[in-house]
């Protein structure tokens, strides 16, 4: 025998030559088949968001010292364009930046979290159209049933365009923030986490994706979306029910199209038409600088009182109509959850 020939290693009894070597236990604790485990991703995302928000708070208080006004404002703070622009805009930027950092950590395209560029112009424009039309139909029905009355115009001339554009930008920020907060990164990440658990418990389950998506949707678009609106002034039980239905149709559009753009567009013009165009209450808020003057009349069940059209029972069948619109007008596309390399 040649001295240079390697001596073959003794084979272990009952060893499977095709078996993969076991992954290190510590690595399996943090990483699964689709990368960083969803639970750690959520915790890291929340930590980054908290730190960014705390940093912004320190910077704002360092350069700006709020002065308490001698007389209280005539309108609530949340009804001012400046308040919405600064508050919603800053929080939106923090969420987007946190998600971008997570996309680098997870090595995923940022667009997976809801802002896919494919068909974005068409989806958001369709959302703009349907949001304005559906809210107008709801307001028209309330007028016909004597639940709402108009008192005339409050703006004239160039102010109509200036304030209209200003509030459109403001409610676009509201739509972007609320849709991404409740149906963006967290919806995607918890969906893949629940789907992974489902596959681990039942490897042959063909509906793991659906389980993951709708469990996350129930948590964020159902429970948390409604809870987030309970603090609004003037909110009623029927209004909270409508918020839950709104969350359901918005997340249905996400499931249908694989992106948030339709929901962002709908959310924007629905709120814009309520608050600026028709001048009705929106969850107890009457914004500054709205076009028309209006007031609820008759039964609170129909008018929604200070909750506005969203507090009216007439809003409930409207959301069923909206679900039908989503089903019949939006093309079915794949939500990019699993497999992770699915095309965008």
- Looking at residue 153, what is its pLDDT? 92
pLDDT at 139: 96
Which sequence spans correspond to the domains of the chain?
33-63+78-329
User: Could you read off the pLDDT tens digit of each residue along the chain, which spans 344 residues?
Assistant: 444 444 454 444 555 555 555 556 777 888 887 888 999 999 999 999 999 999 988 887 767 655 555 554 444 434 788 888 999 999 999 999 999 999 999 999 999 999 988 889 999 999 999 999 999 999 999 999 999 999 999 999 999 999 999 999 999 999 999 999 999 999 999 999 999 999 889 988 888 889 999 999 999 999 999 998 887 766 778 889 999 999 999 999 999 999 999 999 999 999 999 999 999 988 778 888 899 999 999 888 898 888 889 989 999 999 999 999 999 999 888 777 654 434 34
Question: Tell me, what's the pLDDT at 58?
Answer: 86
- Rounded to an integer, what distance in angstroms lies between the CA atom of residue 168 and that of residue 160? 12
Res 11: pLDDT: 47
What pTM was computed for the model? 0.86
pLDDT at 23: 57
- Classify strands 31-32 and 35-36 as parallel, antiparallel or unpaired: antiparallel
How far apart CA 178 and CA 327 sit, in angstroms, is 22
Residues 6 or more apart in contact with residue 288 via CB below 8 angstroms: 75, 79, 80, 81
What does the alpha-carbon distance between residue 123 and residue 276 come to, in Å, rounded to a whole number?
Answer: 23
Please, what is the end-to-end C-alpha distance for the chain in angstroms? 59
In contact, 320 and 252? CB cutoff 8 Å: no
User: What value, to the nearest 5°, has the Cα angle with vertex 311 and ends 306 and 315?
Assistant: 140
Question: What was the pLDDT predicted at 21?
Answer: 58
Other CB atoms within 10 A of residue 35 CB: 15
pLDDT at position 298 is: 87
Residue 266 vs residues 118, 259, 321: alpha-carbon distances, Å: 18, 13, 14
SS (H, E, C) the chain: CCCCCCCCCCCCCCCCCCCCCCCCHHHHHHEECCEECHHHHHHHHHHHHHHHHHHHHHHHHHHCCCCCCCCCCCCCHHHCHHHHHHHHHHHHHHHHHHHHHHHHHHCCCHHHHCCCCCCHHHHHHHHHHHHHHHHHHHHHHHHHCCCEEEEEECCCCHHHHHHHHHHHHHHHHHHHHHHHHHHCHHHHHHHHHHHHHHHHHCCCCCCHHHHHHHHHHHHHHHHHHHHHHCCCCCCCHHHHHHHHHHHHHHHHHHHHHCCCHHHHHHHHHHHHHHHHHCCCCECCECCCCCCEEEEECCCHHHHCHHHCHHHCCCHHHHHHHHHHHHHHHCCCCCCCCCCCCCCC
What would you report as the CA-atom Rg of the chain, rounded to the nearest whole angstrom? 25
Overall residue count recorded for the chain in this entry: 344
């Amino acid at each position: 025998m040649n001295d240079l020939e390697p001596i073959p290693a003794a084979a272990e009894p009952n060893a499977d030559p095709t078996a993969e070597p076991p992954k290190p236990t510590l690595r399996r604790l943090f990483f699964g088949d689709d990368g960083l485990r969803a639970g750690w991703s959520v915790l890291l995302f929340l930590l980054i968001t908290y730190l960014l928000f705390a940093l912004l708070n320190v910077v704002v208080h360092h350069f700006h010292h709020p002065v308490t006004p001698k007389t209280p404002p005539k309108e609530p703070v949340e009804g001012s364009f400046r308040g919405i622009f600064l508050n919603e805009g800053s929080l939106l930027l923090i969420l987007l930046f946190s998600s971008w950092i997570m996309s680098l950590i997870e090595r995923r395209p940022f667009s997976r979290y809801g802002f896919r560029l494919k068909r974005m112009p068409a989806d958001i424009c369709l959302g703009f159209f349907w949001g304005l039309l559906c809210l107008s139909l709801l307001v028209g029905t309330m007028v016909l049933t004597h639940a709402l009355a108009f008192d005339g115009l409050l703006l004239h001339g160039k102010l109509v365009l200036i304030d209209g554009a200003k509030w459109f930008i403001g409610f676009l920020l509201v739509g972007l923030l609320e849709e991404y907060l409740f149906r963006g990164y967290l919806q995607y990440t918890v969906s893949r986490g629940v789907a992974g658990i489902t596959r681990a418990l039942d490897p042959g389950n063909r509906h793991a994706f659906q389980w993951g998506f709708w469990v996350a949707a129930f948590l964020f678009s159902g429970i948390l979306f409604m809870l987030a609106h309970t603090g609004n002034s003037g909110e009623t039980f029927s209004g909270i029910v409508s918020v839950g239905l709104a969350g359901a149709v918005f997340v249905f559009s996400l499931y249908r199209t694989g992106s948030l753009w339709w929901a962002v567009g709908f959310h924007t013009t629905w709120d814009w038409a309520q608050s600026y165009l028709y001048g009705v209450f929106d969850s107890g808020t009457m914004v500054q600088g709205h076009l028309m003057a209006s007031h609820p009349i008759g039964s609170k069940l129909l008018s929604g009182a200070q909750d506005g059209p969203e507090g009216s029972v007439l809003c409930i069948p409207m959301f069923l109509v909206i679900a039908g619109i989503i089903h019949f007008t939006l093309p079915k596309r794949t939500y990019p959850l699993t497999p992770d390399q699915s095309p965008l």
